[in-house]
Structure 1
Amino acid sequence: MSSVALDIGGTTDAWLQSLVAESSAKDPNQVNEPQVPRVPSEFREMKENTDCYEPLVVSIGPYHHGKEKLEVMEKLKAKMVGQFVKDSIEAAEEMYDKVKELVSDARACYEEESTRQFNDEKFTRMMFLDGCFILEVVFKKLEKQKLRKQEVTSITRDLFLLENQLPFRVLIPLMRIYTRSGHHSAEEQTSSSKPSWSSERIDQEFKKTVEDFFKSIHEIPLQRESCWEKISIFFSELPRSLILSKDTGPYCKLGIYDHLLHFFYFKFVYGKGQHKRKRRSNRETTSWNRYYSVNELKNVGISFVPSNTSVFVNVNFKKTFLGGALCIPPLNIEDSTKSLLLNLAAYETCAGLYSAKCTSYVCFMRSLIDKPEDVKELRSKGILRTTIGTDDQIAQIFKEMTTNLVPKPSAYRDVKESVESHYRNTLKRWILQYKDPISKAVVKYSFIVGIAVSALQAYLAQTKQRTGYGICSCSI
């Protein structure tokens, strides 16, 4: 604590002026948040979640470099990059020189104490190896290596850890040289037109390649567009495509992204056309609504429907005559799902994103999942697609993920208000609550009455028949 804060004596004016001076003074210990930050300490406090932020097989950047358990993959990196150098020595030398030019900028992207152990030469070599390795993985050169499926899955998982990122300011220049060299495609090596591509054209091709790579992240199911949706999208974008020969929107430029996890976040959490920061309005206040589990909502007529979008945080509520439907994008629960969601949440915390979309989504899903029965219901509706563990284990994963997570108070406000309004509608609840008992009673008593009526009809028919016989015999 500063001396000003301790010194509360003297005149009021002098003390107030000292506070102004203290607030204006620059703190020599204050540093700007690096592009690749460390995971906040509060995220690591939950012991069950600690491993979610640690690489399993491969390190990228300085934070986990040199760990013994990751040495095997360092040898594979050297092998893969060695093949690249052998195939294109000119491109490799150009890429290395480019990293050398950017070494100071690259250091500034990480926390300072993590880079002190590396001199410039060693740091340059690390950035070069890691950059080439990422490009080889993204361009699917990893398939040529004799790796087990689990190893490939672990590598992909490690590339989306917050502390395991390579700054795009380093990766993009490497990618441009890599692409111009035609190394990523045997077909392009023979094409004379590709080397003349502009940087913007190359960036667009790489952006598409990365998005295709994202499709291999099984935790986020792909969007399935109906025929009508495809036609609508085509005609809505047609005028724009006639005006612009290429997509020049601000979020189509790779340079705006800090790293691979940042790119993934804006692809699957923000989504296309949702990048503009919304203005805070007077209506954007905290909604104090109760949280209801899946089965509680099911009992009052709210169903669960998988929605057709790849932006997995987009949850909506649709009203029906007596009930409603929560439309939730499908989510595959795999070994690395927990790690991916927590690192996305850690990223938006470090980036200071007010929307906190991923954090709020995880907390909202936790509010729905209270018991294994809730997981079972979401599985039956195709919202949770689990390949690991029991329903009880899946419910436990969501409980562990939300420890120390703080969602945006007004997140899913409209959804929660709609659910609360329906839940408090006494008439609807009464009809839905007694719909089944009344229906069963009606069926039960209708059955009894039906039997009684049938018996009475049979008796009357038989009596009439006997009476008719009697009259005939008398007349004879």
Structure 2
Amino acid sequence: MEPTAAWAPCEFQLANWSIEEPAAYLPVEYASIDIPGTCLEACVPEYYYYYAASQQHNVTSDQKAKISNDSDAQSVVDQVMGEFKADIDMMKAKMHRYPACLGDVDESYTLPRIVAIGPYHHGKEHLKQAEKVKHAAACHCVRQSGRSLEELYGAVVPMADHARHFYDKDVMAGINPEDFRHMMFFDACFLVQYMLSRAYTGDVDQSLNGFLSPNRIDIFHDVMLLENQLPWHVVETVIRLLRLPSLSKKFVARKRNCMLSDDRHEPPQQKPFIWYDSYKPPHLLGLLRYYIVGRSDIEYPKQEKKDKSYSLSAMELAKIGITLTANKTMQLIDMTLNQKGTLFAELSLAPLSLDRDRASFLVNMAALELCTVQSFSAARDGDSAVCSYLLLLAKLVYREEDVQELRVRGLLQGGGGLTNEEALRFFTSFQGLRFGPYYYRIMVQIQIYRESSRMKTKSFAFFHNHKKTIAAVVSGVVSVGGIIGTLLSIKKTL
């Protein structure tokens, strides 16, 4: 992160505007969220759930227990404990950094290519060209809103002030409040114009679309990065003022199948798109992940977890009579092991067209789950669905032949993506992920299937290991039968 001076001031000279300071202009670690009289309360009361977690005054009697006789020391202790609790309570709403547990993730999955959203990558040299585009996007937002520039910016200010809570404190310490407000305003306007361009509403200026359209793949990659996010209430403020109530819905409807090949033919069994007004995302990545994962129609009972070691490559599953297949719903959450008659079973997973962009989407959605879910077993099953999906695929591949088996079975689709070697390296890097309920449930089902039909699985294994020999013998028997039949027919004619 470069110093704030590296962030060029806007041509509009926003720093010279006279914006009435709300109470939230106080240092963020002491700011109260309940600010009577500000437009925050009047405009977006639904976002109070974001901020309630940052209250530091509602501590329990146990937390107020006396630790030191020195009042100053006790005050410091109370402050440290309060700030730490506030950070934990805001876990789902924060703008996270990449979790250390993901290890050495390839930079192509973590760094923006063309545009910085938020402060974490702001000021990097190769991203500065997009800053002028953001200013143009802001101009178009002002025109579409029918308001003055000062009015639109003024409506974003209180949202931006509260947004400081959700970013890394060390990063925010190097950015003054006014520069941060500008950043939030321009980034939000850019995201809204980008969403308009991808929702195909026809409301995007032709010159602005001249940048957004040819760079749409790189921009989408960037807005799906964990460290390149804007608090959603900032973006929704601009959407609301532009009177675009269905923009988010239209954008998500277009992008929810981003994990699939562009040349796919959607199967008729695909679930219809349903928009859930009750869901309040932390940011754009969270919003897209919610609909990419989908919602399950089945409520599974919680299972008691035991430490077990499982091995089930794609080739091993074939040996015991379990067939891999692509599900028809195309949702990551639909991971099932289905019994097919008395002899066979079918492991069904969402199909995936794996190139570097989609690999990046998976990495960032998994990183979001790891950052926001304290306990996979205690949370809803869908909260860790991406990690479960990735871990299942990681357990299926140990050799390039296993990756090829995924392609043959339709789990890996499309061309021009990662090679078998690259896909193997990608999947095996996730073998140490935390166990999600979906992953664990399928592992248990496979183990039960294996143990309940040992004789059957031995027969399948024998057939699988000797299928070439068996085929040759059968072919030989057929040939001998043909020869005997020919001799018998000749004998009859004699």
- Under a length normalisation based on structure 2, what TM-score does the superposition of the two structures give? 0.71
Identify the match of residue 295 of structure 1 among 307, 315, 338. Answer: 315
Q: Which has the larger radius of gyration?
A: 1
C-alpha separation between the residues in 1 aligned to 2:132 and 2:257?
A: 25
Stretch of structure 1 that moved more, 285-294 or 159-168: 285-294
Change (3 A) 1:142 1:392: farther
Specify which of 357, 374, 377 is matched with residue 405 of structure 2.
377
Cα distance in structure 2, aligned partners of 1:286 and 1:27: 39
Amino acid corresponding to residue 176 of structure 1 in structure 2: R
Q: Which residue of 2 aligns with 1:429?
A: 457
1:108–1:364: structure 2 CA closer, same or farther, 3 Å change rule?
Answer: same
Distance 2:473 2:67 in 1: 77
Match of residue 351 from structure 2:
330
- Whichever residue aligns with residue 416 of structure 1, its letter is M
2:442 alignment counterpart: 415
2:280 corresponds to 1:252: no
SS of aligned partner of 1:396: helix
**Residue of structure 1 in register with 2:152 after alignment:** 95
C-alpha offsets along residues 233-263 of structure 1, whole Å, 9 cap, x if unaligned?
89xx9xxxxxxxxx8xxx4235x22111111
- C-alpha displacement of 1:288: 2.4
Pick the aligned partner of 2:232 from 158, 168, 172: 168
Alpha-carbon distance in 1 for matches of 2:484, 2:301 = 69
In the alignment, what sits opposite 2:87?
A: 32
Amino acid at match of 1:271: R
Counterpart in the other structure of 2:122? 65
Shift of 1:391: 1.1
Pairs within 5 Å for 1:431-470: 431-432=459-460, 433-434=462-463, 436=467, 437=469, 440-459=472-491, 461-462=493-494
- 1:438 to 1:332, Cα distance in 2 relative to 1, 3 A: closer
**Partner residue of 2:386?**
358
Whether the aligned pair in 1 keeps the contact of 2:194 and 2:212 (CA below 8 Å) is no
Q: Taking every aligned residue pair, what percent have the same amino acid on both sides?
A: 23
Alignment equivalent of 1:310, drawn from 323, 330, 339: 330
Selected match of 1:267 from 276, 281, 291: 291
Aligned equivalents of 1:403 and 1:70: distance in 2? 34
Residues 335 and 423 of structure 1: is their aligned pair in 2 closer, same or farther, counting only changes over 3 Å?
Answer: same
SS in 2 for 1:165: coil
Shift of 1:294: 0.8
Q: Which of 398, 402, 426 is matched with 2:427 structurally?
A: 398
Aligned to 1:467: none
User: How far apart are residue 292 of structure 1 and its match?
Assistant: 1.0
Which digits, 9 at most, give the CA deviation of each residue in 1:209-253, with x for residues without a partner? 2313424734588994637x88xx89xx9xxxxxxxxx8xxx423
Comparing 23-32 with 126-135, greater Cα deviation is found at: 23-32
Shift in CA distance, 216/154, structure 1 to aligned 2, threshold 3 Å: farther
Change (3 A) 1:22 1:273: farther
Structure 1 segments unaligned to the other structure (5+ residues): 1-16, 181-201, 238-246, 463-476
- Which of 361, 384, 401 is equivalent to 1:340? 361
Distance in 2 between the 1:345 and 1:406 partners? 10
Separation of aligned partners in 1, 2:492 and 2:159:
103
Q: What is the alpha-carbon distance in structure 1 between the residues aligned to residue 334 and residue 327 of structure 2?
A: 9
| Amino acid in structure 1 at the alignment position of 2:130 | M
Unaligned runs of 5+ in 2: 1-61, 69-73, 198-203
1:434 deviation in Å? 3.4
- The answer to whether the 8 Å contact 1:77/1:130 transfers is yes
Retained in 1: the 8 A contact 2:293–2:333? yes
Measured against aligned partners, the alpha-carbon deviations of 1:158-216 in whole angstroms (never above 9, x if no partner) come to 10111111111211121111126xxxxxxxxxxxxxxxxxxxxx2xx233223134247
Instruction: Report the CA distance shift for 1:223/1:423 in structure 2 as closer, same or farther (over 3 A).
Output: farther
Among 109, 120, 134, the residue aligned to 2:191: 134
Deviations 1:140-161 (A, max 9, x none): 1487533497732111111011
Structure 2 Cα separation of the partners of residues 146 and 422 of structure 1: 56
Q: Are the counterparts in 2 of residues 225 and 308 from structure 1 also a CA contact under 8 Å?
A: yes
Pairwise CA distance, 1:417: 3.0
Question: Do the aligned partners of residues 438 and 55 (structure 1) sit closer, same or farther apart at CA in structure 2, a change above 3 Å counting?
Answer: closer
Q: How many residues align?
A: 398
- 1:293 deviates by 0.8
1:90 is paired with a residue whose SS is: coil
Relative distance call for 1:449 and 1:309 in structure 2 (3 A) is closer
Q: Which amino acid in the other structure matches residue 278 of structure 2?
A: K
The CA deviation at 1:361 is 1.6
Cα deviation, 1:280-315, whole Å, max 9, x if unaligned, reads: 4xx332362522111121233322211112321421
Is contact 1:315–1:329 with CA below 8 Å preserved after alignment?
yes
Which is helix-richer, 1 or 2?
A: 1
Corresponding residue SS for 1:139: helix
Q: Which amino acid is 1:265 matched to?
A: R
TM-aligned CA distance change 1:259 to 1:301, over 3 Å: same
Change (3 A) 1:114 1:327: same
User: Which deviates more from structure 2 when the two are superposed, residues 89-98 or residues 25-34?
Assistant: 25-34
Amino acid in structure 2 at the alignment position of 1:291: S
CA displacement 1:367-401 (0-9 Å, x = unmatched): 0011111221211222112532321111111123x
Match of 2:370 in 1: 349
Q: 2:118 is paired with a residue of what secondary structure? A: coil
**Residue-by-residue CA offset, 1:315-367 (whole Å, 9 max, x unaligned):** 11122242221111111112212221121111112212524221122111100
By how many angstroms is 1:446 displaced? 4.3
1:163 counterpart SS class = coil
Q: Quote the offset at 1:104 in angstroms.
A: 2.3
SS in 2 for 1:319: strand
- Equivalence map 1:194-273=2 (5 Å): 202=245, 205-215=246-256, 217-219=258-260, 224=266, 226=268, 251-253=276-278, 256-271=280-295
